[in-house]
Structure 1
Amino acid sequence: MAEHGSGDRSSREPLDGGPAERAKAALRARLLDARRALTPPQRAQAAEKLCGHVLQWARDQRSGPACAYLPIGAEPGSVALLDGLRAAGRPVLLPVVPARPGPLDWAPYRGPGSLGPGPLGLREPTTARLGPDALRTAALVLVPALAADRAGHRLGRGGGYYDRTLGAAAAGTPLLALLHDGELIDDVPVDVHDRPVTGVAMPTPGIVVTGNNARG
């Protein structure tokens, strides 16, 4: 959701200050520096490739809504991806940050005109809120991340919103983290509250399955 500084999804305190959180903080800093170094043409090219991979992958998923997110700054993804999902006949739900720390709310995305200013410097849907349980209706979930590993461990911004949210997804729902090339790494520090993803999408290799479904 903006190149996160003043407008950051992760404005609250870390979930704990243990070794895993300290390791995550150092890894986040390195990954954010690498993202900031990407030029606008590099970001645009990555977004275009990622859009193609995800739209093709989504065609093979069961019918139903896609819970997605609106990228900001150098975050992977694009409005074109959201519009492409809608053009393929798939409803798109976007997150709404709650007033207090807790699971994300969701609301329908109906094109750029359905967006308005939200907290933390983000844009959010202006459509009716559906509540956190709307995630249970999703046929697929696109998740923001700074990195992931092949076990499916995901590094987020540190706000904990998605860790509080993803547990509500129906069993078997694919959870796909969108990454830049090079952000699928050997090992992501893990805490007990962390929620894994089932796959990642990157501009060059495309879709990579993670966790128990990974092969090799």
Structure 2
Amino acid sequence: MRHSSSGSEPDKRTLRRQFLAVRNRLTADDVRATGAALADRALELPELTHARTVAAYVSVGSEPATLALLDALRARGVRVLLPVLLPDNDLDWAPYAGEDSLQLVRHGGKMALLEPAGARLGPAAVQEADAVLLPGLAVDARGMRLGRGGGSYDRVLARLERAGADPALVVLLYAPEVVERVPEEPHDRPVHAVVTPEGVRRFR
């Protein structure tokens, strides 16, 4: 799949619609099956093998399923931090204590998200992570990620950079979402690796 790199937001909006349309055709069984394979591939990453703290997220809808991976990390003794969306689109963090500890939270006109019910640790807690698992819609050959457009993870990445923190940045996707090029803007930061149900690709 070939995409231009004009860097303009309208291009990003068009691409987001295209990738979401493909995802929305997946069945619940498709998502479940790929989630198990995604966990297997991700758990082979040295960055996750040696991590003590991983900042992750709970997938919703047709996103690549993350619960199997979250549970496997927790079973390894890894401290897993999950995001809590704030009114200004920034992210607070709370520890993952198993699927039963998640609650469905509706954020106005935005999508409903599964969020941890535990004590909030503050937006700076992500700086303690050895690895950060990022949602996205696509990543290109340079490691540039196309997000959903809310800007929450742009803030997270900027916060990590300001703090001098350098965790492994890993995006979780379906294989067709690894493309030649996506539009980028000056604030965009490349990720270190992408994990799909089929395998891992590194960018630096």
TM category (shorter chain) comes to 0.7 to 0.9
Contact map agreement 1:177 1:197 (CA 8 A) in 2: yes
Q: Which runs of 5+ in 1 are unaligned?
A: 1-17
Query: What CA deviation, in whole Å up to 9, does each residue of 1:47-101 have, x standing for no partner?
Result: 1110101112157643321100000111013211111000011010000101223
Asked if 1:122 corresponds to 2:113, the answer is: yes
Asked if 1:64 corresponds to 2:52, the answer is: yes
Structure 1 residue 42: deviation in Å?
A: 2.2
Aligned partner letter, 1:111: G
Query: What CA deviation, in whole Å up to 9, does each residue of 1:187-215 have, x standing for no partner?
Result: 110111223211100111x11112xx1xx
Structure 1 residue 43: deviation in Å?
A: 1.8
Aligned partner letter, 2:115: E
Contact map agreement 1:64 1:137 (CA 8 A) in 2: no
Q: Secondary structure at the match of 1:141?
A: strand
Contact map agreement 1:67 1:142 (CA 8 A) in 2: yes
Equivalence for 2:33: 45
**Count of aligned residue pairs for this structure pair:** 192
Equivalence for 1:148: 139
Equivalence for 1:193: 187
Structure 1 residue 19: deviation in Å?
A: 5.8
Q: Which runs of 5+ in 2 are unaligned?
A: 1-5
Structure 1 residue 20: deviation in Å?
A: 1.4
Equivalence for 1:131: 122
Contact map agreement 1:61 1:140 (CA 8 A) in 2: no
Provide the aligned C-alpha RMSD in A: 1.7
Query: What CA deviation, in whole Å up to 9, does each residue of 1:89-121 have, x standing for no partner?
Result: 10100001012233x111001001211232331
Match of 1:166 among 153, 157, 162: 157
Query: What CA deviation, in whole Å up to 9, does each residue of 1:163-191 have, x standing for no partner?
Result: 01123335431110000011010111011
Once the two structures are aligned, what percentage of the paired residues are identical?
42
Contact map agreement 1:61 1:139 (CA 8 A) in 2: no
Equivalence for 1:7: none
Match of 2:96 among 89, 104, 109: 109
Aligned partner letter, 1:38: L
62-71 or 87-96: bigger deviation = 62-71
Aligned partner letter, 1:197: V
Query: What CA deviation, in whole Å up to 9, does each residue of 1:128-162 have, x standing for no partner?
Result: 11111111100111100000012111011110000
Q: Secondary structure at the match of 1:135?
A: helix
Equivalence for 1:92: 80
Q: Secondary structure at the match of 2:44?
A: helix
Q: Distance in 2 between matches of 1:125 and 1:52?
A: 23
118-127 or 66-75: bigger deviation = 118-127
Aligned partner letter, 1:115: L
TM-score, normalised by the number of residues in structure 1: 0.83
Asked if 1:178 corresponds to 2:166, the answer is: no
Contact map agreement 1:97 1:119 (CA 8 A) in 2: no
TM-score, normalised by the number of residues in structure 2: 0.88
Equivalence for 1:33: 21
Q: Distance in 1 between matches of 2:82 and 2:48?
A: 21
